[in-house]
Amino acid sequence: MVLLEHPGLPPEEARPDSPPEGKEAEEEPKCEVLHVSGKGKGLFARSDLGAGQLVLRESPLLLMPNEVYSADDMDRIERWLDRRLNALSCERRAAFFDLSDCRSPSDDKTVLGIFFTNDMDFGGDAALFPDMARANHSCAPNADFVSRLGRGVQDLVATRDIKAGEEITISYLPAAKEGSDVREVRQDYMRQWYGFRCCCKACNMEVSRAGLPTPCTEGA
Ligand SMILES: [Zn+2]
């Protein structure tokens, strides 16, 4: 009779489904995407936020190298986008197609239109962050984005105190036009590049001083 050596039980290992000790519970999101009448969707604070506080941290859904972006070859850009979009999960692809296209607000949205409406600078490249892209424009914004290239994330940071329920806005204006106190300069840019008439608080204040009507299509 041969005695078989009992193989014994493997040493007990940490169960993979148990959270590592000391791991903090996932933080509650500080903002949420809500519908805004006449403006599509917008980003809103879920709680009071202090100036300098992180509102949202996001990794890019798409990251287009500047070499492709600035080549000004729309066929090449479209091919690049199609390839990358096809490689995404259904959920991520749906998040892309849910974004707005300022050139075709109806159902005729195009891949190029969606990308150019929502892309942000990311260290000289063009990146798309689907949640951050929900932040509407204001000429007097309460948040700004900061690229953390080393970590591969974009941070949206409050630039002043924001109350719970308040809309979180950023400026779409390029640095050269940012802070322009000439309403027409800002409005011309927004109309030309984003196809809407800005009706943020800063623009509205100037209009009401001038006593003009203010049909509102976008802005906070
Ligand atoms: Zn404005």
Contact present, 174 and 185 (Cβ < 8 Å): no
pTM confidence score = 0.77
Ligand 1: centre distance to CA 166 (Å): 17
Rounded-to-integer distance, Cα 66 and Cα 72, Å: 10
Classify domain 12-174 at the CATH class level. Answer: mainly beta
- pLDDT, tens digit (0-9, with 9 covering 90-100), for 40-77: 899 999 999 999 999 999 999 999 999 999 988 999 99
Is the pLDDT assigned to residue 204 strictly greater than 60?
yes
pLDDT for the residue 108: 86
Q: Do the strands 120-122 and 125-128 form a parallel or antiparallel pair, or are they unpaired?
A: antiparallel
Ligand 1: centre distance to CA 38 (Å): 16
The single-letter code of the amino acid at 57 is R
Ligand 1: centre distance to CA 204 (Å): 7
Q: Which tops the pLDDT comparison, 194 or 59?
A: 59
Can you point out the beta strands (E) in 8-68?
31-36, 40-45, 54-58, 62-64
Please, what is the average pLDDT of the chain? 83
Least trusted range by pLDDT, from 5-19, 124-138, 156-170:
5-19
